[in-house]
Structure 1
Amino acid sequence: MLLWRIGADAIPTKDNMIKRFESIDPTRPLCCQDIESTCHVFFNCPVAKAIWLTSCWGFRASEHQISSCEDIIILVVEPPKAPCPIEDLWKITLNMAIILDEIWQIRNQVLFQDREVNILLSVKQVKHKFIEYSQALALEPAPNANHPQQAWEPPPPGWIKLNVDTTVSESFASIAAVARNDKGEVIKIWAKPISKCTPIMAEASALLWGTQLALNEKWSHVIFEGDAKNCIDLLSSESSSSDWSVHNVISSVFLLKALFLGVKFNWIKMDCNSAAHVAAKLSLNSRISVCFYKDNLPGALELACKEDCPTFSC
């Protein structure tokens, strides 16, 4: 969105604001010289130059012809030669976009919050965001629509996959979560009974519980999977819930999403979610909360894990 606003010359810099309002101080908030323009904010200001130099392989704005908003977009979308393979050039574009955002954040903090510039802190924030976003974008692409996923699939290395499911009876319901690593090994399985509710409410509650469990385990990169497409779609598209009964629960999941370094929500078929379904049924039948590890799985649950992942072994 920031890049679009820059390209449309819709950034509220001093030179743009003075065209609309007479009582605007036209000087630059970061260096207090002349009139603040878009090109100056992002490339010519000493603060911007320092951030570019330390955050983007020693990039020097003075060595490039940047005199318009169009030049800025071309630079980011088609970055100059950089010390990386051609297949990784998208990372340069990502890094440049993050730097532009950081510079704009600094400018607004100085102008509206009377805060001091901290170049070292800004460089650290750029690096942190780049790592976070590049890891998220580097996730393996979803299976082709013409070849639907036929079995549970392990997450990428360094990630945890947490499958959730629910079972609803006439008197109450149960929810379950199954956490496995990139080798398909069970880390932990939880299940517990909950009050009677609608199926969609139970599915939403399972997703919320799953995110809470993952945070309690201090997992930073997690893929959540479930077979309730209506709930997963709400989380994947970040659209407003059409069902008021799950609005608060889905909103809570959104809030918790921000606490992960990497997070993704996937919809899968019921056939690929056997372990979570069996765990939910075990809790429903026993009416107690349970927690299992790799070495103490009940026979039915061990079999379900093998159905999900044929390479799984206790």
Structure 2
Amino acid sequence: MSWKIDLVKDIFEEGEGSVILQTPISFMNSRDRLIWHGTKDGSFSVSSSSHMEKDKELEVKGQVSTSNSFKGVWNKIWQLHTTSSEKMFLWRACQDSLPIYVNLFKRKVVSDPLRPICTREEESTLHALWNCEAAKDICCLCSKKLHKSSSSHLTMLVFFETLIEVLNADELQEFVVVARQLWLRRNSCIFNNHFMPPNVFLRESRLRLEMLSEKGQPQIHSRDHQLCSSAKVWQVPPLNWFKVNWDGAVDQAKGIIGIGVIIRYDKGQTIATMRQKKTFFPDTQLAESYGALVAAQFARDVGLSQIVMEGDSLQVTKALQEEHEA
């Protein structure tokens, strides 16, 4: 049994025909069947064809189409000093799997691929997070290296790969935080008709970066660097004063925060305690801030005026000590 050489040459191009003719024929008299090389089991799937199409787009831009070529990018994403949600967001952005208008248009969910905010260009991932004028207004106020980074017409994956080569860890962290905040602002504009001004955007982004920086700092046990009530030894308040300690906990799965408050006299005697749980946005910093409010209200309800507030969030404590609104 052998190939029908003339028929193969007539049907297929020279390169394909040569590969076919070099393929050995089974002597088991088994029936022919179609094989899809995009999956391990040879079965066709829409997702595998989508991945192949993305690989071809990368090849056109001069990139290697194997996922191993971007292994360093994936490793860098998971090593970033950010939250899991921010890492997952960046991973989805690099995979081009965010529900941007270009993707929604391909799936016939929307009738127009133009970005709904600027309405000038099609909304690709990179356009939404970097190239749009609304995004540039923010990025130009970021770190010098960051706002000077050129994107050209790269994909988000290739663009982030270039950022890894020129930015340090702190600048990459800033990029991820700003990019996700831009995405949240974009969603708020589309679904809630609310567009966050640049000054408010920058303030929230800087607060977010400070929170990440605070969480990444090692615990230092010297007296000069103790963070609020993180000290192991409880510090007594002034004579005839009361100390109000509070703490917050977050259940991200259920969207619930828990607050605990204890009030003690200057000799250490417990005067009152309370605990409360509330359906709230599951953010640690918000939980601590809300806990400070609950603690102050609880002390007022008990009838105390000479109190010392003490929590374990440096950011919230600093905000309480400032004279102007935080």
Q: Scaled by the length of structure 2, what TM-score is found?
A: 0.45
Q: Scaled by the length of structure 1, what TM-score is found?
A: 0.47
Determine which structure has greater relative contact order: mean sequence separation of CA pairs < 8 Å that are 6+ residues apart, divided by chain length. Answer: 1
Question: Larger Rg: 1 or 2?
Answer: 2
